[in-house]
Structure 1
Amino acid sequence: MAFDILEPGLSTTVQDQGRIGYYRFGIPQGGSMDQYSATLANRLVGNTAREAVLECTYIGPKLISTTDAIIAVTGAPVDVFVNGELVPEYERLELLAGNELKFGVIKGGTKYFIAVHGGIDVPEVLGSRSTYPIGAIGGVDGRALAAGDLVPVGAAIDNGLPALQFIEIEDRPAFSKDVTVRVMLGLYDHLLSHTGLDSLLNSEWVLTPVADRMGLRYSGPGVEWKDREQPFGAGQDPSNIVDAGYAVGSIQIPGGTQPIILHRDAVSGGGYAMVATVISADMDLVARCSPGTKTHFVAVTMEQALAARAANTVRAARIWS
C-alpha cells in the first residue's frame, strides 16, 4: 500500500512525535509542528499517536492511493477533495484504490496533517521517521516529497480503541489571528533593561512571513538591552553571549529588534541571548500562527507552566479513551 505523489505541494514532509534524545548532539527533536493536530488525525484513522503522518505547509499535495485506505485530515482549515468532491476535515474518511486526494486554498494557519491507517512507513532514523531536511535524514530520503514519489503505508494496526468517526468541535484546535503565548523568563532576561523587559511583555508583536520549522520571526517595537562590557568570546552586539545551549522554544532578539522563537527543527546552541522560553503547552499554538498574527507574550511561573502541560495532557486523554 502506498501514496503515489502526483504533485508534492509547497513543502510536504513525513513527521511523527520527533527524534528525542539527540539534541545534545546537535540533532533537533523535529516531529510534527502541531503535535496535537497530528495526533487527532492518527486517532481518527485508528493508529496510535506514534505513527508518522504527512505534514503539509500552505499548499498540500495531490496524490493517489494505490489501495483502499482510511485517512483523516486535521490541522489548519483547508478544503479537502476526493475525486473532486469536497469532504470534511476532522473526520474518518475512506479512500478506494485509485482515488485522488487534493486540497484547496488554506483558510488559516500554515500546516495541516494527513494520517493514514498503518502510518507512513518510511525507515526510522535514530528512532524517528521525522524528516529533518537540514540534516537530510528521516522521511523520504531526508527531504520534502517530490512528484513521482511512492510513499509506503504500514500494515494494519489495532490500537485497542473504538473507532472514532469525527472530532468534536470543542476538541479541535483554534486558529486565531490574535494570540497570547505564555513564556518563562530566562536564562538571559537579566541582560534586558527594565524598559526592554516591559517592551517584551507588554507590546504587540506580529509574526512575519520569515517563519519555518526552525524558527518564527516577529516584528514589533524592539527591546532595550543594558549597557555592559561584552565578555571575551561574545560578539559586539548586546544581544550576543558566549555560546550556550538553546532550549526548544527559546526566544532570541538579535540586535534587540525582532524576536525569534526557536521551534521543532531549531539548532541546539549558539551565541544569542535567550530572554525567555515558550512553555511546552503553547508550542502547538505558536505553530498554528500564520504571518500577520498579533502576539502577546505573558510571563508565567514554573508551577503555571506545569499546570498548563497537565491540562493539555488531560485534554488529549479524552481523545485517546
Structure 2
Amino acid sequence: MATTAHSWRLSMALEILVPGLATTVQDRGRFGYYRFGIPQGGAMDQYAASIANRLVGNTADEALLECTYLGPKFTVDAPTVIAVTGAPLEVLVNGKPQPANSRLELSAGDEVSFGMLKGGSKFFIAVAGGIDVPEVLGSRSTYPIGKMGGFEGRSLQTGDVVPVGRPLPEKLPRIESIPEELLPSYDREVTVRIMLGLYDHKLTEEGLANLTESEWTLTPVADRMGLRFDGPGAPWKTEEQPFGAGQDPSNITDAGYAVGSIQIPGGTQPIVLHCDAVSGGGYAQAGTVISADMDLFARMAPGTKVRFQPVTMEEALAARAERRARLDRVWS
C-alpha cells in the first residue's frame, strides 16, 4: 500500500475479479420521477454512503458501490484512495487487514477483498473521484428492475471494468477516519419510528395494537424494494370493499405509496417499502417509516427484532434535524 502522496492519472478503473452477491452503483438517488413510477433508488443507507464519500474527499453526490452480504474482489489500475463504511466486516488489501471507516491509499495493482459481515446487510465502497458511469434521469444509481443507471443497468459481474472519475480538489480538511460516536450501530434489537396512516383506521383494535406494541422479526425476504417482517399479525376490519378494490380487507382502490410505507397484506406480515419500491398500488398503508429511520433497514440482518413506534409530525421533523446535524459534524 502507498503511504505517501502520489500524482493522479486522468482516470482509472476498478477491475472486478469477483462481483459479490449484489454489488451495484448507487448515489443519493433519482428524484422527480416517482410520479411516473420510477423510484428514487440510491444507497439504502444514505448516512453510511455519505461518510464514505467524505473520507475519500468526494462530494456527497458522487456515486459509489453498494454491497450486499458478500463483497466483491477487485484490483485498481492506478494509485487511488478508497473508504469502506457500513456493515462491519474485515477489509483486506493484498490479503492484509485494513481498518474500515478510514481513508485507505492504494497503489496500482492492489487487490481489495472482504471477509464476512458481522452485522447488517449493506456496506459501501467509495473511491476518490466517484464511480464515473453515465447519469440517467439525473442519477448514476442502479435500478435493476428497470435496467437503468449504474453499470449497464445491472449488478456488477466478473470481468467488469468500472470507470472512476478524476478526483476533485478537496475543499474540506482531509480526515483519516470517522470518530466512533459518529458511526452507525448494528443492533439486533431496533426501534423504528413511524407515522400512522393513511389507512390505520382500517386495522382492528388488535391489529393496531400488534403493529405498534408487539415485536416483529425481519425475515430473509428483504431487498431494495421492501423488507418483510414476521410477528403476531395485524388484522384488518372486515367490511364491504369499495368498488375497484380487491376482496381482501387489506386491499384498497389504488393509491400512491410513500417511500417507507408499511403494508400488511392479509393482515399477517408487514412489508416496509424501500428505495426501489413501486410508487402505487392496491394495498392499504398502515403507516410510514419516518425519513430519519430509513437507513436502519440496511443495518438489519435477518432475525433482527423490530418495534414500530408511532411518533408525531413534530417528532419526525425533530429526528430529521438531529440526523442532519449529525451528518453535518462529519462534513464540517
Pair in the same fold by TM > 0.5: yes
Could you list the structure 1 runs, at least 4 aligned residues long, displaced by more than 4 angstroms after superposition: none
Structure 1 counterpart of 2:74, from 63, 67, 74: 63
Q: Are positions 1:258 and 2:269 aligned together?
A: yes
CA deviations over 1:128-161 (Å, ceiling 9, x no partner)? 0000000000011100000010000001112410
TM-aligned CA deviation for residue 287 of structure 1: 2.0
Is the contact made by 2:27 and 2:64 (CA closer than 8 Å) also made in structure 1?
yes
Q: Are positions 1:184 and 2:195 aligned together?
A: yes
TM-aligned CA deviation for residue 57 of structure 1: 0.3
Which residue number corresponds to residue 295 of structure 1?
A: 306
Is the contact made by 2:251 and 2:282 (CA closer than 8 Å) also made in structure 1?
yes
SS state at 1:316 partner: helix
TM-aligned CA deviation for residue 288 of structure 1: 1.0
Which residue number corresponds to residue 148 of structure 2?
A: 137
Q: How many residues are paired up?
A: 321
CA deviations over 1:238-287 (Å, ceiling 9, x no partner)? 00000110000000000000000000100000000000000000000122
SS state at 1:197 partner: helix
SS state at 1:74 partner: strand
CA deviations over 1:153-203 (Å, ceiling 9, x no partner)? 001112410101000000000000000000000000010011110111011
CA deviations over 1:180-229 (Å, ceiling 9, x no partner)? 00000000001001111011101110000000000000000001211210
Structure 1 counterpart of 2:219, from 189, 208, 213: 208
SS state at 1:283 partner: helix
- 2: CA distance, partners of 1:309 / 1:87: 33
Which residue number corresponds to residue 26 of structure 1?
A: 37
Is the contact made by 1:181 and 1:286 (CA closer than 8 Å) also made in structure 2?
no
Which residue number corresponds to residue 73 of structure 1?
A: 84
Is the contact made by 1:53 and 1:120 (CA closer than 8 Å) also made in structure 2?
yes
SS state at 1:312 partner: helix
Is the contact made by 2:235 and 2:266 (CA closer than 8 Å) also made in structure 1?
no
- 2: CA distance, partners of 1:227 / 1:105: 46
Amino acid at match of 2:240: E
SS state at 2:295 partner: helix
Which residue number corresponds to residue 121 of structure 2?
A: 110
TM-aligned CA deviation for residue 298 of structure 1: 0.6
TM-score by structure 1 length? 0.99
- 1: CA distance, partners of 2:238 / 2:250: 11
Which residue number corresponds to residue 49 of structure 1?
A: 60
Which residue number corresponds to residue 238 of structure 1?
A: 249
Amino acid at match of 1:68: P
SS state at 1:43 partner: helix
Is the contact made by 1:9 and 1:59 (CA closer than 8 Å) also made in structure 2?
yes
Is the contact made by 2:192 and 2:293 (CA closer than 8 Å) also made in structure 1?
yes
Which residue number corresponds to residue 238 of structure 2?
A: 227
Is the contact made by 1:17 and 1:35 (CA closer than 8 Å) also made in structure 2?
yes
Which residue number corresponds to residue 158 of structure 2?
A: 147
SS state at 1:48 partner: coil
- 1: CA distance, partners of 2:210 / 2:120: 26
SS state at 1:125 partner: coil
Unaligned runs of 5+ in 1: none
RMSD, matched Cα: 0.5
Structure 1 counterpart of 2:169, from 144, 158, 178: 158
TM-score by structure 2 length? 0.96
- 1: CA distance, partners of 2:212 / 2:30: 32
Is the contact made by 1:27 and 1:268 (CA closer than 8 Å) also made in structure 2?
yes
- 1: CA distance, partners of 2:324 / 2:295: 13
